Amino acid sequence: MAQLESLNFDNSYVQFPAGFYQRIEPTPLRDPFLIAFNPAVAGLLDLDPCSVQPKKLAQYLGGHKPLPGSEPLAMKYTGHQFGVYNPELGDGRGLLLGEVLNQQGERWDLHLKGAGRTAFSRFGDGRAVLRSSIREYLVSEAMHGLGIPTTRALALVGSEERVMRDGMMEPCAALLRVTQCHIRFGHFEYFYYSRQHDQLQLLADYCLQRFFADCLEQEQPYLAMFQEVVRRSARLVAKWQAYGFVHAVLNTDNMSLIGETFDYGPYSFMDSYKPDTISNHNDHQGRYAFARQPAIVQWNLSCLAQALLPLIDKEDLIAALDSFPALYETAELQEFRNRLGLQQVAEDDAVLVKELQQLFAQQALDMNRFFRKLSDFDGSEQSLTDLMALCCSPEQLTPWLLKYEQRLLQEAASQPIRRAQMRAVNPEFILRNYMAEEAIRSATEGDFTLVHSLTDLLRKPMQENPDFAHYAEAPPEWAGGICLTCSS
């Protein structure tokens, strides 16, 4: 196991020509201090968590000392924001510090969010605030606990420095994000729209070798890579829809090439199932509403396809795009089968799921609490009462529940086995906005206890925890008044 000063950096992105990035050091934060550290992520880097000294780590992530082996750079990319192409994008407040190669041969990007101004900051100050940093730290662990592909974070650092957000002065923070890929759809769009097709091919070759090596064996490697991106993106958004997750800012520059949830902003898990839920107060047209996410992901894939035209035949790209709806529907159905405890495949499963989604919408049900209660449903009066209590019109649940009971007769597993299977995928705890808000309020007063407690809770969301049982109940009334914006 390595120490911070001996991480095995092997930086490949820095070998690209200068037009791919800006070389720049982090701007020091005033009086940085460590708030949270993630030992599980440290293990990915072969970093010995017991060797980490909080003050020293805060100095590294606060920009006061260069992390040995790192070569910080701000990546250049562009993208479509709310449907409009913006050529001025890039890492405006974050820096790719470098890539750590672990003993398993895995390459992990270290990205410092909140590192200060870069050439791509436009009118921004290059800082991240404590509020948004806590939200990303918590949700990345929550998503990982749910089995949803996501970036993660090694550490969260606070500071005495403050910046203006939404008319208020807020404390700054820095987050060290860890993932195997920081390449976005927007990286390819930059080289396509700036007519740098040689550089576009150079980037595509890099991505093939680093992320999609199996595609190199195909007759058309670039096409095979795009097809795999389509498949991964379809599976990802299917998981979002199955757990009621609203990303809120699905711009092409926020889309990961390897199909991870990326660049968290005003996200939310729905407390009530409302297909038109808009999590971002700045999304005035509802472009990124919950129900629109699959179509938006396909639209974003079409933007990536456009950027790949110099490398792939147009008709092949169209065919790959046209495969998305079926890939998504198959993946979504399987996610719901899992949540319903259905191990076998039956012809009418899609109808059963569609009717359940309609019931969710009609009743504005808390879908995640419903699935958890359904895990315990055994036909008894008490289990039926528990389910009915979630509905504003309980009688509307009966027809669907009868169909579900009939469907269960086709399953070989006994009720106790099915219960265990369902409890393995239906969380007792999910990160609701009010939970994050409570942690943020405490942290703003200097108390980070709830940040740590929620992190531990959300890492194992399927397990019961009597000390935090209240978080498994319906959210308080004030939760509906939380307003999230792009600065969140």
Residues annotated catalytic, as ranges? 253
Contacts of 123 (CB under 8 A, 6+ apart): none
| Beta-strand relationship, 21-23 and 73-75 | antiparallel
CB-CB contact of 325 with 265 (8 Å): no
Other C-beta atoms closer than 10 Å to the C-beta of 276 total: 10
Q: Where are the beta strands (DSSP E) in 187-310?
A: 245-246, 268-269
> Residues 373-380: contacts with CB within 8 Å, 24+ apart?
374/340, 374/341, 374/422, 374/426, 375/341, 375/419, 375/422, 375/423, 375/426, 376/419, 378/415, 378/419, 379/405
CB-CB contact of 108 with 12 (8 Å): no
HSE-CB at 448 with a 13 A cutoff on CA atoms is 17
Backbone angles phi, psi at 380, to 5 degrees: -75, 160
DSSP 202: H
> What gap in Å lies between CA 362 and CA 359, rounded to an integer?
5
Q: Tokens in use for 185?
A: 């759809």
Burial class (CB in 10 A: 0-12, 13-18, 19+), 98: buried
Tokens 């791919």 sit at which residue?
Answer: 20
Among 212, 114, 129, which Cα is nearest to 172's?
Answer: 129
HSE-CB at 457 with a 13 A cutoff on CA atoms is 26
Other C-beta atoms closer than 10 Å to the C-beta of 347 total: 6
